[in-house]
Amino acid sequence: MLTVLPVARAQQVIVQSLVMKPARKEPVSLQNAPGRVTAGDIFAPEELPSFPRSTMDGFAVRSEDTFGASEGLPALLNIKGNILMGKEPPGALAPGEAMSIPTGGMLPQGSDSVVMVEYCEQMGDSVAVLRPVAPLENTIQAGDDYKLGDLLLPSSRLIRPQDAGVMAALGLVKIEVAVRPRVVIFSTGDEVVPPQEIPQAGQVRDVNGFLLAAQVRENGGDAVYGGIIADRKESLLEALLQALAEADLVLVSGGSSVGTRDVAIEAINALPGAGVLFHGVAMRPGKPLLYGMSEGKPVFGLSGNPVSAMFGFILFVRPMLRMLCGLPPFSDFVPTIEAILETNIASNGGREDYVRVSLSFENGAGNIVRACPVFGGPGLLQTVVQGDGYFVIPRDVEGLTEGSIVKVTLF
Amino acid sequence: MLTVLPVARAQQVIVQSLVMKPARKEPVSLQNAPGRVTAGDIFAPEELPSFPRSTMDGFAVRSEDTFGASEGLPALLNIKGNILMGKEPPGALAPGEAMSIPTGGMLPQGSDSVVMVEYCEQMGDSVAVLRPVAPLENTIQAGDDYKLGDLLLPSSRLIRPQDAGVMAALGLVKIEVAVRPRVVIFSTGDEVVPPQEIPQAGQVRDVNGFLLAAQVRENGGDAVYGGIIADRKESLLEALLQALAEADLVLVSGGSSVGTRDVAIEAINALPGAGVLFHGVAMRPGKPLLYGMSEGKPVFGLSGNPVSAMFGFILFVRPMLRMLCGLPPFSDFVPTIEAILETNIASNGGREDYVRVSLSFENGAGNIVRACPVFGGPGLLQTVVQGDGYFVIPRDVEGLTEGSIVKVTLF
């Protein structure tokens, strides 16, 4: 029997329904790696830095030669030579010797530290060191950042700019990443026409095909728009069968009426190895959500109502898409904005309420952010277009009063 | 005279230095619009929805025909016909009449409301309505979402999935967006070699070219890698002149030693209509930041140190890049994660400290997030690769104690 599930339970069903397979891999160039997901642990193939470097302009010395040095009694060292950027030092450093070195320069053998130029006085071939330095001071030693074999990036990690940076530093110019999951998106409905057409009386343009494709791309999927399907079981079944042959995930949206919902249920139940796992989630907007599996591939039936479809994506499709991308379904760390609620809000007990708000910023004392609900049924796109984000009223809360602090997630 | 500026003052100089020109526009297809920035206000070219629609399965009625109806004394109406999805209703509704209608169906003329199917009992050609409906109940009227000429999206706005959705709904399939700014990125330094090469003793691979290009792309810019330039004024000047002919913004990184910093200052000062506006910001990491202008085009000189360059980008280059993208330099709403600091942290007064942290999540009571500083100098990439984000210790604060609440911005 199909019942209306709480949000967390529905998410659990979705996450547990996927049998994780090893990620399909593809190599990408370093330049194309940011935004992709690692398909295997990446280890340091050499140490970083590969040689001891100075972090200051000054003189490379043996620290013991400077012990006890002071302005009154400087340590006098022979200048053995000048170290140039990008070059090997001109020889090793013997006791009582120093070499001038730029920031980033390579320390000579025998030297373990650098005296900052501010504490040196050069006089011809010698330098007076006015302060002692400790061993390793003003240097980075070979391997201080990464040692050979250190884990650079674990598998299943989103590659950020700095991650590309560290791979560049280590010469990793081809990276194995997870192949982007292929997501086929259908819109259904006898009333739906493509956006470039002028709808006849009773017809509407397809919104969800474009909305969902954009959400899929934003979350790392390869979105394929499958077009508009008529509200008949046979048409939908045929489209699903064709899509599932190549897709990793199929999204169908449309059909908020009982008749069309039944069409989607029947079509999904008719797929090979298929089953509708649940139908309906206790939330608003987004209640009519259909989830099923065909031979290990997930199929979502989202509301025809764009706002409901959008929240259905955020709450249920995205965790699945993240898993197919090789990521954990949910991020532990979801950044939010604290804001002061500007009005009272009632909520029906027994379901989660996703309240769309527009934010305003009050310059001045405390930089206060205010959240103003954008009222309007889930049939109105303006609630998400004029809205900046949303907050959740949990199932067991009947409403919130003006002045409450809410945590807003940006769209 | 060049002095070290506080962060906010340096940002102000950068923002005020740009004379905003009208955005260069280009048309993109709706599918490619998400992630781009509107280059002009976008108005509703028609009303949405374009006809009155039912939001429920039920019967379209004249609400006045149902006034006073109850289970004991239902209103009996003649079924005039069935409304089909995507079709015009079969005629208008006269007093005493009803038509069956699906969710999303078009209301017939004469009808102003819909009775939910749950409150109807069909008996042959007539329907007994068990409850009254109010005018407009269970309907969306034409123009309820957007009226003809309503502002859909203002100029200078990032297009999100739902914004693409509303444009699809209104048939806007080609959108004028701001051209992505072209950002040319150079790395300088006699010690720097491309990542695919094996460095000789004293040489290092170029990190910043890849790090900065990824940051530019992540923020909507068109990144062009200009390669590695020798540390000589003439080489850098020539490269800058060539880049500025086509670029909207030029980033040069490298040179943390006094000599190479002077090379960058001299080269930027030698550009036509150029001036170095400041050199040095009171922050850590990122202090050695050079900013100048050549004939209205901004040029940044970032540290050769990758971590400093990365923060220089986040704090100074990004606001400029956003403006060149057509966006305001700073977002009013920056989502953060509240976390509990796990250790004491000291900070030098007089400069802002950007503390890199790794976050951990404590499942259970309160879902507590803990922030653990990733210690290490700005020369170590691990501080940003192992870090999840950062928080700021302001100039006038000397440090934070263990257990403090910090607001972490994710990288």
Q: Which class in CATH covers the domain with range B337-410? A: mainly beta
Q: What is the mean pLDDT of residues B317-332?
A: 94
Cα separation of B171 and B126, whole Å?
39
Tokens 């028609």 found at: B46
**Residue of B165, B381, B384 with shortest CB distance to A306:** B165
CATH class belonging to A25-48+144-178: alpha beta
Reported as a single tens digit per residue, the pLDDT across B180-217 is: 999 999 999 999 999 999 999 999 999 999 999 999 99
| Strand A297-302 to A249-253 pairing | parallel
How far apart CA B297 and CA B279 sit, in angstroms, is: 17
Position of tokens 């959108």? B175
Contact between A191 and B409 using a beta-carbon 8 Å cutoff: no
Determine which of B29, B103, B337 to mutate to test the interface with A (most A C-beta atoms within 10 Å). B103
Residues of B in contact with A81 (CB under 8 A): none
Task: Confirm or reject contact between A71 and chain B (CB < 8 A).
Answer: no
Q: Chain A: nearest CA to B273, how far in angstroms?
A: 31
Q: What is the average pLDDT across B87-110? A: 96
Burial class for A358, CB neighbours closer than 10 Å (0-12, 13-18, 19+): middle
Write out the two tokens for B70: 């109850």
- Out of B145, B166, B210, closest to residue A31 by CB: B210
pLDDT digits (tens, 9 = 90+) for B123-162: 999 999 999 999 999 999 999 999 999 999 999 999 999 9
ipTM of model: 0.94
Amino acid sitting at position A321: L
DSSP B185-218: EEEE-TTEE-TTSPPPTT-EE--HHHHHHHHHHH
One DSSP character per residue, B383-404 reads HHHS--EEEEE-TT--EE-TT-
pLDDT of B319 over the 50 cut: yes
Round to whole Å and give the CA distance between A90 and A80.
8
Which of A187, A381, A391 to substitute to test the interface with B, most B CBs within 10 Å?
A: A381
Residues of A (106-135) whose Cβ lies below 8 Å from B: 106, 117
The H or E element containing residue B318 is helix B318-324
pLDDT digits (tens, 9 = 90+) for B75-93: 999 999 999 999 999 999 9
> Do residues A168 and B205 make contact, with C-beta atoms less than 8 angstroms apart?
yes
H or E segment to which residue B309 belongs? helix B306-312
Q: Quick check: B29 contacting A, CB < 8 Å?
A: no
Tokens linked to A371:
């959240």
* B222: confidence class by pLDDT, cuts 50, 70, 90: very high
Give the Cα-Cα-Cα angle A74, A79, A83 (nearest 5 degrees): 125
Helix (H, G, I), strand (E, B) or coil at A32: helix
pLDDT of residue B382: 94
Among left, alpha and beta (phi > 0; psi -120 to 50; other), residue A311 is alpha
Mean pLDDT, chain A cut into blocks of 10 residues (411 residues total): 80 93 91 96 97 96 96 96 95 97 96 96 95 96 97 96 98 97 96 95 96 97 96 94 96 82 89 88 85 95 93 97 95 92 88 93 77 87 95 91 95 93
- A41, A50, A85, A145, best to mutate vs chain B, most B CBs in 10 Å: A85
How distant is the Cα of A273 from the closest Cα of chain B, in angstroms? 31
Task: For chains A and B, count residue pairs whose Cβ atoms are closer than 8 Å.
Answer: 304
Provide the CATH number for the domain formed by A7-23+180-324 in this structure. 3.40.980.10
What ranges do the domains of chain B cover?
7-23+179-324, 31-45+151-178, 53-140, 337-410
Q: CB contact, 8 Å: A164 with chain B?
A: yes
pTM: 0.94
pLDDT grade for B259, boundaries at 50, 70 and 90: confident
For chain A, positions 280-319, list CB contacts with chain B under 8 A.
304, 306, 310
Residue with tokens 């990184």: B253
User: What pLDDT shows up at residue B1?
Assistant: 43
Is 60 exceeded by the pLDDT of residue B372? yes
Instruction: Detail the DSSP E strand segments found in A280-367.
Output: 283-284, 290-294, 297-302, 337-341, 345-346, 352-362
Cβ neighbours of B134 (radius 10 Å): 11
Do the chains contact at B210 and A85, CB–CB below 8 Å?
A: no
Residue B116: helix, strand or coil by DSSP?
Answer: strand
The SS3 assignment for A30 reads helix
Three-class DSSP category at A147: coil
The predicted pLDDT at position A209 comes to: 96
Q: How far apart are CA A173 and CA A169, in angstroms?
A: 10
As a whole number of Å, the end-to-end CA separation of chain B is 34
Residue A17: DSSP 8-state:
H
B209: nearest CA partner in chain A: A165
pLDDT of residue B367: 74
Q: Is A192 on the interface with B (CB under 8 A)?
A: yes
Chain A residues in contact with B199 by the CB 8 A cut-off are 50
Six token digits for residue A122: 């050069």
Mean pLDDT of B321-331: 94
Element (H, E) at A318: helix A318-324
Question: Is the bond preceding B285 in cis, omega lying within 30 degrees of 0?
Answer: yes
Q: Is B334 on the interface with A (CB under 8 A)?
A: yes
Nearest residue of chain A to residue B138 (CA atoms) = A377
d(CA A143, CA A257): 64
**Looking at the DSSP assignment, which residues form a beta bridge with residue A389?**
A357, A410
Q: Which fold has domain B7-23+179-324?
A: Molybdenum Cofactor Biosythetic Enzyme; Chain A (3.40.980)
Nearest to B410 among A162, A209, A333 (CB): A333
CATH architecture of the domain formed by B53-140: Beta Complex (2.170)
Q: In degrees rounded to 5, what are phi and psi of residue A375?
A: -75, 160
Q: Which of A140, A381, A84 is nearest to B170 (CA)?
A: A381
Q: What is the mean pLDDT of residues B394-404?
A: 91
The token duo for A94 is: 């013997």
Contact partners, residue B150, CB within 8 Å, separation at least 6: B43, B44
- Name the residue among B409, B405, B359 with its Cα closest to residue B386: B359
Q: Do domains B7-23+179-324 and B53-140 have the same CATH topology?
A: no
For residue B318, the number of C-alpha atoms closer than 13 Å in the C-beta half-sphere is 15
Minimal C-alpha gap between B303 and chain A (Å): 11
Average pLDDT value for chain B: 93
Among A266, A304, A303, A309, which Cα is nearest to A288's? Answer: A303
